[in-house]
Structure 1
Amino acid sequence: MNQEASATAPRLLGTLTIGQAPRPDITPILESALPAGTRCVHAGVLDGLSKEQIAQRYVPRPGEPVLVSRLLDGSSVKLDKAAVRETLALKLRELEDQGCTVVLILCTGEFHGLDLQRAWLVEPDRIVPPAAAALAGERQAGVIVPLAEQAASEIGKFAALSRPPICEVASPYSGEVQDVARAARALRERGAQMLILDCMGFVEAHRRAAVEASGLPVVLSNALVAKLTAELMS
């Protein structure tokens, strides 16, 4: 394809969840931000796998980093981060080979060394922390994470903040929005002045609950990433 044709060809967005695709919780937020008519291909690290197969291949190892994601049946699953990272790289290349010009990872976890040859890779962990730091300024940020095991790593992940973040735990996959409200209130009482929902599984209902419970500004990670990704698709 020559350069002029490439510049005018419709862009194809690929999304890659660490769970199973499509993600009915995230895709409406993404689609509302994207330009009308944007073509999308959705894929997941766990696509086509049974719960037994997932347990065999991705069971968390004691003391090692853990991720959490959503399956097609709506349930959540804990995953070994290193095992996910290995499959993630393969799935990214598959999306690139399908002609995706932009590929968005639907996870805010940190994955080092990912790269694509032709497609533009969008990694939320490279967007959310610096954006949150710029918004917070000198204020104290509070972070809500889905797993207690992830709280310790948030200090390093959000190192750009002027103050170390304070964390509370609430899963977007529990079905209990009040868990997020409780965490938001706790963070406000601990001195937070802005909140970050640090998981792509949090949705607008979680943001509203956090705002109502705390009275603080709340950054919804997937909405922030969706809006910036839309700029690449325009």
Structure 2
Amino acid sequence: MSKLGTLTIGQAPRADITPILDAVLDAGLARRHAGVLDGLSRPDIERDFATVPGQPVLITKLLDGSSVVIDRARTEKAAQRKLSMLEAEGCSTILMLCTGHFESLHTESARLVEPDRILPPAVAALTQGAQLGVIVPLAEQISSEAGKWNPLGRPPLYAAASPYGGNGASVLQAARELAGRGADILLMDCMGFVESHRREAAAAGLPVILSNSLVAKLVSEIV
């Protein structure tokens, strides 16, 4: 019997993402949601996943609704342990709920679905040379995550806006900035962006690809 595991780099369950999965997955499909930061307090997280100056970072959401910025390399090591746990619990397919790039994640027999490996070729095929505008959560990710977009026919344009709020630009501001710079299509490059963010970005007048929606639809074909 198929069992889907999901792994967020934050804390599970992700109440913002699971409805997007529920909309396309069979209601009878067994599921197990896990998070890299499950059971950890903010002081624990700040100690064990502290960012390193100049090194890639990720942003994610905690159960209390707040967000936290964490070191990508430390997150990857912890994520590997969680993948092994999900596989041991019988998950036949495991979906990473993060669009960040990871070098070494793997499973023994379960099918591992990593959005950063799916999105670039799929988006390249969908956009067919159009100018893509990518909205990332953190300005620091514009350089650290850029390599995964090599499959595109032309380099994308970037703007930063967090799906978790804060003092930075809003999603609409980022979308309008990209439209003004010549983007033809927008991509929201974080699993934390949800349908309300898509609607906000769409007010800039361009088509908007929502990463978690696209990935969820593709995963529904194999579970």
Deviation, 1:155, is 3.0
User: 2:107 aligned to 92, 116, 121, which one?
Assistant: 116
User: What residue number does 2:80 align with?
Assistant: 89
Mapping 1:1-234, distance limit 5 Å: 10-174=1-165, 179-212=170-203, 214-233=204-223
Q: Which sections of structure 1, spanning at least 5 residues, go unmatched?
A: 1-9
Distance (Å, rounded) in 2 between the aligned partners of 1:16 and 1:50: 18
Deviation, 1:184, is 0.5
Distance (Å, rounded) in 2 between the aligned partners of 1:62 and 1:155: 18
8 Å contact from structure 2 (residues 4, 94) kept in 1: yes
Deviation, 1:141, is 0.3
8 Å contact from structure 1 (residues 18, 46) kept in 2: yes
Deviation, 1:175, is 7.1
Using the aligned pairs only, state the percent identity: 57
8 Å contact from structure 1 (residues 154, 165) kept in 2: no
Secondary structure of the corresponding residue to residue 92 of structure 1: helix
Q: Which sections of structure 2, spanning at least 5 residues, go unmatched?
A: none
Distance (Å, rounded) in 2 between the aligned partners of 1:169 and 1:81: 18
Name the amino acid aligned to 2:210: L
More helix by share: 1
How large is the Cα RMSD of the aligned pairs? 1.4
Secondary structure of the corresponding residue to residue 143 of structure 2: coil
Distance (Å, rounded) in 2 between the aligned partners of 1:184 and 1:47: 33
Flag the 1:147–1:40 CA change in 2: closer, same or farther, 3 A: same
8 Å contact from structure 2 (residues 101, 145) kept in 1: no
Distance (Å, rounded) in 1 between the aligned partners of 2:156 and 2:166: 26
Secondary structure of the corresponding residue to residue 58 of structure 2: strand
- 1:69-94 deviation per Cα after TM superposition (whole angstroms, max 9, x unaligned): 00000000000000000000010000
Structure 1 or 2, whichever has the larger Rg, is: 1
Between the two proteins, the alignment pairs up a number of residues equal to 223
